[in-house]
Amino acid sequence: MNSMALEIRNLAKQFGDKVAVNNVSLQVPTGSFYGLVGPNGAGKTTMLSMATGLLRPDQGSALVNGVDIWAAPHEAKATLGVLADGVRQFDRLTGRQLVTYAGLLRGMDREEVATRTEDLLRVMDLGEDGDKLVVDYSAGMTKKISLATAMIHSPKLLVLDEPFEAVDPVSAANIRDILNDYVSFGGTVIVSSHVMDLVQRMCSHVAVIDGGMLKASGSVDEVRDGMSLEDRFVDLVGGRGTSEGLSWLRTS
């Protein structure tokens, strides 16, 4: 069995003159809860899009559970669940219809899809909202129903781009519990996030991306090197500003 759930090899992508991802290689061990952190515009979404078959790389390859996603996309994507950031859902469907559609699209048996859809709606605390249109969902509900569509086929690897953005604390805690359970039963999660404290508490491994380049990767303890992850992150990417010149904000 391949010990890497995802192996990224020399991925690169350029948009015009801008290098979005610059020759990145990364290994994500099977069974890990892997955090991907970086400032806005660091290249996280571009890298994950290439690694999950959504965006063709200029160079490099990505292996999902040992299968090259660009050479054998159907085989690779069968074991992969993706929650992409900013990608529109079919939001004129109800929550129940959307999850059902995702399961049928995967070629699953209709009865199995129906059972799993109800299980997912219940666990996501969306049981009473299953017949509402997704367009009428809150941000937190939309993230949860999107996660359900990514999990319906029981993938070995979940790749989640900003799953906690604009999500209320109760929904975030609920999502974290679901993902922790998934990992404890042998799944692998890759999550990109801006929230360092969340990544430090939740993840076993972390990679820091900045300017399209990999700055550090390994276990959370290895990467933070005795500091908080947030302080280590600022050390690696720089750019901490100063409040000098705001003397007018002082009220005393």
The string of pLDDT tens digits covering residues 116-162 is: 999 999 989 999 999 999 999 998 899 999 999 999 999 999 999 99
Higher pLDDT: 87 or 72? It is 72
Sequence-distant (6+) residues with CB within 8 A of 239 are 39
List the structure tokens of 198. Answer: 């969340």
Check whether 210 has a pLDDT greater than 80: yes
Across the range 198-213, mean pLDDT stands at 94
The confidence score (pLDDT) of residue 246 equals 80
Check whether 244 has a pLDDT greater than 80: no
Distance CA 101, CA 129 (A): 17
Model confidence, pTM: 0.91
Sequence-distant (6+) residues with CB within 8 A of 133 are 91, 92, 93, 94
- Residue 248: which pLDDT band, with cuts at 50, 70 and 90? confident
pLDDT tens for 96-126 read: 999 999 999 999 999 999 999 999 999 899 9
The confidence score (pLDDT) of residue 243 equals 66
pLDDT tens for 162-200 read: 998 878 888 888 889 999 999 999 999 999 988 888 899
The confidence score (pLDDT) of residue 174 equals 86
CATH node for 1-79+155-223: 3.40.50.300
The confidence score (pLDDT) of residue 252 equals 64
- Residue 16: which pLDDT band, with cuts at 50, 70 and 90? very high
Check whether 1 has a pLDDT greater than 60: no
List the structure tokens of 2. Answer: 């391949």
Task: State the residue for tokens 């974290």.
Answer: 176
Alpha-carbon separation of residue 191 from 103, 224, 242 (angstroms): 22, 17, 30
The confidence score (pLDDT) of residue 3 equals 87
Domain regions of the chain by residue span: 1-79+155-223, 87-154
The confidence score (pLDDT) of residue 232 equals 92
Q: Are 143 and 175 in contact (CB under 8 A)?
A: yes
Higher pLDDT: 149 or 250? It is 149
pLDDT tens for 26-58 read: 999 999 999 999 988 899 999 999 999 999 999
Task: State the residue for tokens 């604390």.
Answer: 169
Question: Does residue 176 sit in helix, strand or coil?
Answer: helix
The confidence score (pLDDT) of residue 2 equals 60
Q: What is the pairing mode between strands 80-83 and 4-15?
A: unpaired
For the CA atoms of 210, 41, 140, 220, what is the dihedral angle to 10 degrees? 0
Instruction: Write the burial class of residue 251 (CB in 10 Å: 0-12 exposed, 13-18 middle, 19+ buried).
Output: exposed
The confidence score (pLDDT) of residue 242 equals 67
The confidence score (pLDDT) of residue 41 equals 87
The confidence score (pLDDT) of residue 161 equals 93
Sequence-distant (6+) residues with CB within 8 A of 123 are 178
The confidence score (pLDDT) of residue 62 equals 98
